[in-house]
Amino acid sequence: MWLISIPMILWVLVFCYIPMYGIIIAFMNYIPGKPMFSSDWVGFLHFKTFFHSPDFWHVIRNTLAISGLGIVFGFTAPIILALLLNELRGRIFKRFVQTVSYLPHFISWVVVASILFATLGNEGFMNDILLRLGFIDKPISFLGEGKYFWGVLTTTNVWKDVGWATIIYLSAIAGVDSELYDAGKVDGLGRFGMVWHIILPSIRPTIVLLFILGIGGILNAGFEQQLLIGNSQTREYYEVIDTYAYKYGIQLGNYSYGAAIGFLKGIISLLLVLAANRISKKALDTSIL
Amino acid sequence: MKKSLMLLVTVVFSFTALAGCGGGSKPEQEAGGDKTQSDSSQISEKKVNEFGWEMPDKTIEINFYSGQDNPDKVNKYQAELQKYILEKFNVKLHNIVYDVDQKEKLNLMLASGDYPEVITGLNESQAQQWVNQGKAVEIGQYVDQSGANIKSQLETWYKSYPSQDGKLYMLPKYWGLLPIPDNSAHIRNDWYVAMGSPSFETPEQYYDILKQMQAAHPKNAKGEKTYALSGIAPVTTNMVPTLAGMWGLQNGYKVSPEGDMTHWVNTEEGLELTKFMNQIYRDGLLDPDTFVNKFDEWKAKFSSERIMGHIGPWWQSWNAGHEVWQKTNKDWKEDQRYVQVALKAAGVEKSYLSPKNARGGTFTIITDKAKHPEDIVKWMNFSITDMGTRLMGWGAPNQPDSVWKFENGKWSWVEEAKQAIINATWNYDKSDTLGQTYLMLVEGQGTMKDDGKSTLWFDQNFNNEAKWKKVMNDNLKDTIYDNSLGSITIPANDPLLITQQQIDDQLETLWAKTVMSKTEDEMTNNFNVLKDKLNRAGLHDIEKYRSDVYKDRMKNWK
């Protein structure tokens, strides 16, 4: 088995671990074009700069809020949808619904942003309807006011990925032993009872695994969607760690600053995964390590 | 049968192989590079072309990166002029662009070491970054050897380009002062005339007229709501410096006689101009997408007759106004257009709308990839001349579509092209096809020395004859100013650059919120919050840096 794994282990080593030495520039004043090790060593300067940045708190707040909403809605929605799909009896209808629910996953964010502008813009479809029905007397700036941004983004994220994310749950549900259902029937369980007492406990390891991995990605609050849907009016609500690192690190040529922010994000994510894993191990006796 | 088949296959392979060998040499001949070299090498005496350029024996090849653009478009548009210059000068110019942010691309070039022999369109701090890393070639010696025209054209500015140790690494592009306006307020002409052309001078009076105009045209032909004003994001970059100029500020800064620079948010004038915009918003006459519009979105609204006025560069209302209507409306009349007008707030001595940087705001460097930097300087020494500037700015002469002729050492306009500009019927796509300004490296945009009136921009050469250009120039002649001292950039890798970016980002967000305040009290409160936040983020440091540089220039650039 180890022999078979060697190529993959080498691949991971070469492409995932060796490049990590570059993280050292987070502690240097790296200037593009100069050899990395001739750059000045500055210790934690870039981390301090980030902590003292006027944007620090709202960047962290936005990242946690958008990710938190993603976990609450984006994590639960596929489970619910998978359970509902599992209850569909007509094979053709079930496949049709599944296919339709996957489709948004394949639409690029550029197209999604265009759809959003056409729907929720000041002169979009939604405002048009609300104005015509007399519910409002002037357009609501759904995409121009920060207070709507998290909601719009979470809804869009859920819409785009809910179908795709059900695949893994549907396969987990398909793996539930049919004898359990028979036993449930004998015990007089109805459809909700089956879901609650048989399906959910059976797919619990899958749910926990995906939850722990999801916690690790809690600081991945998005990138393209923020840049495409966000604008100067909503900046205080859309700027997240990744967009900030891109703008101030890559675009300004401050690679060290960008690397420091990325490194910080990686450390926090790792700690979150370890914490979630520990909690899960204690509470549910299920873990990934 | 089998033998015949084998024979056939052998013959086919043999021919294919021979054809392949032949084909290999053909593109080289077509490309012209090697052919020109071998042909030229047989010329024993130096040949001087009609422009006075001594033809080099070997083709001088100059590949230069010029920033962000569509590569296919640029390759298409540079082709004609590129071919002409190769044939007439034995110089092969190649403008390289990428559809990637210029700042990002430059940093990637530095990090990867993959860049061409010349880079142009750099601001001073970007150029300095290449110098600091030893990637830019010191060209002072080459200019001393073969750059007499460079020195004479740049005159007194020449001494401002070398670094502190006296070494020259960069030369300017678009230097020189062309006294024609860039920015202004705009108003829909035919509707204004229909109102009886009421006079106005202040921004408030201007808005009052726009308001009346909007009341007369509340909806466009499609029944869509109209507005007095709109904008293109980022508004604090695209509109505010011009707006602040109406309150006497220079490119967004209040400059004291001693050279102290104060950002507009820290001035009374800044509050006043914000009040002005807030009033338009509260009246429901500011396009709600003002802070979101990209140019194309704004253009779509503007060209569909939904915006009464505009504040920004003159060409925007031409491009999005009558230049669209000319093509789409067969009944279009000449006066259906926007005119550019000067505004000056009450009590303000002078309106500063069009900052000019005679020293040049963008620069060209020769990188360490250049094998023969002296040849590149030689080309620059020609292209910086008046005739060189004509060639680069107007495209090749004596061609079927040319806008100018050059015969027996004398140049003249192609009358048809000239009249098209004068009559405002010129199709600007033609300018692109001619390659106008696509192959520039060091050309100036001021008035040329040999006739005292020609300029790089083809369409700006007939301003006194072109009716609407003349109207614009007459209206705005007192709003142009030399901002060479105030054109300051923060050096790359300076921590102030992050501060500057943070301030720019916050400014756009918080000013949008301030302008969109529902009451005047809320607006004043939001403005004070904006001011406090920006000052806490380091705006005073930026002001100090700029003031120090400005004062230093006042002392040294006399």
pTM of the model: 0.81
- What is the reported pLDDT for B34? 37
- Residues forming a β-bridge with B92: B61
Residue whose pair of structure tokens reads 């590129």 in the numeric block: B82
DSSP string across B117-148: SEEEEE-HHHHHHHHHTT-BPP-HHHHHHH-H
Choose between B27 and A29: higher pLDDT. Answer: A29
Task: Nearest by CB to B133, from A34, A123, A235: name it.
Answer: A34
Interchain contact, B506 vs A54, CB within 8 Å? yes
For B143-167, b/e burial (b = at least 16 CB within 10 A) is beebbebbeebbeebbeebeeeeee
- Residues forming a β-bridge with B91: B60
- What is the reported pLDDT for B40? 44
**Residue A126 C-alpha, separation from nearest chain B C-alpha, in angstroms:** 16
Are both B59-178+359-433 and B183-351+532-556 of the same fold?
yes
The residues of B whose Cβ lies within 8 A of any Cβ of A are 101, 103-104, 106-108, 110-111, 113, 129-130, 132-133, 135, 224, 233-234, 284, 288-289, 291-292, 492-493, 495, 497-498, 501-502, 505-506, 508-509, 512-513, 516, 533, 536-537
For residue A236, give the chain B residue with the closest CA: B509
- What is the reported pLDDT for B491? 83
Question: What is the dotted CATH code of the domain comprising B183-351+532-556?
Answer: 3.40.190.10
Q: Which of A58, A32, A150 is nearest to B502 (CA)?
A: A58
For A240-274, the pLDDT digits (tens) are 999 999 988 888 888 899 999 999 998 988 888 88
Distance CA B192, CA B169 (A): 51
Domain ranges across chain B = 59-178+359-433, 183-351+532-556
Give the phi and the psi of residue B304 in degrees, each rounded to 5.
-95, 25
Using CB atoms and an 8 Å cut-off, which of residues 107-146 of chain A contact chain B? Answer: 121-123, 138-139, 141, 143-144
pLDDT in tens, chain B (558 residues): 455 545 444 444 444 444 434 333 333 333 333 333 444 444 456 789 999 999 999 999 999 999 999 999 999 999 999 999 999 999 999 999 999 999 889 988 988 899 999 999 999 989 998 998 889 999 999 999 999 999 999 988 999 999 888 999 999 999 998 888 999 999 999 999 999 999 999 999 999 999 999 999 999 999 999 999 999 999 999 999 999 999 999 999 999 999 999 999 999 999 999 999 999 999 999 999 999 999 999 999 999 999 999 999 999 999 999 999 998 999 999 999 999 999 999 999 999 999 999 999 899 999 999 999 999 999 999 999 999 999 999 999 999 999 999 998 999 999 999 999 998 888 889 999 999 999 999 999 999 999 999 999 999 999 888 889 899 999 999 999 999 999 998 887 788 988 999 999 999 999 999 999 999 999 999 999 999 999 999 999 999 999 999 999 998 886
Superfamily of domain B59-178+359-433 in CATH is Periplasmic binding protein-like II (3.40.190.10)
Q: Kindly state the tokens that stand for B121.
A: 């369109």
**Residue B496 C-alpha, separation from nearest chain A C-alpha, in angstroms:** 11
Q: Which of B273, B265, B208 is nearest to B244 (CA)?
A: B273
Interchain contact, A253 vs B533, CB within 8 Å? no
Q: How many CB pairs under 8 A join A and B?
A: 89
- What is the reported pLDDT for B5? 47
Mutate which: A232, A254, A257, vs B, most B CBs within 10 A: A232
For B25-61, the pLDDT digits (tens) are 333 333 333 333 444 444 456 789 999 999 999 999 9
For residue B535, give the chain A residue with the closest CA: A54
Interchain contact, B492 vs A253, CB within 8 Å? yes
For B68-120, the pLDDT digits (tens) are 999 999 999 999 999 999 999 999 999 999 999 998 899 889 888 999 999 99
Residue B435: CA count within 13 A, CB half-sphere = 24
Q: How far is CA B201 from the centre of its chain?
A: 29
Chain A residues with beta carbon closer than 8 angstroms to that of B224: 123
Q: Does A32 touch chain B (CB under 8 A)?
A: yes
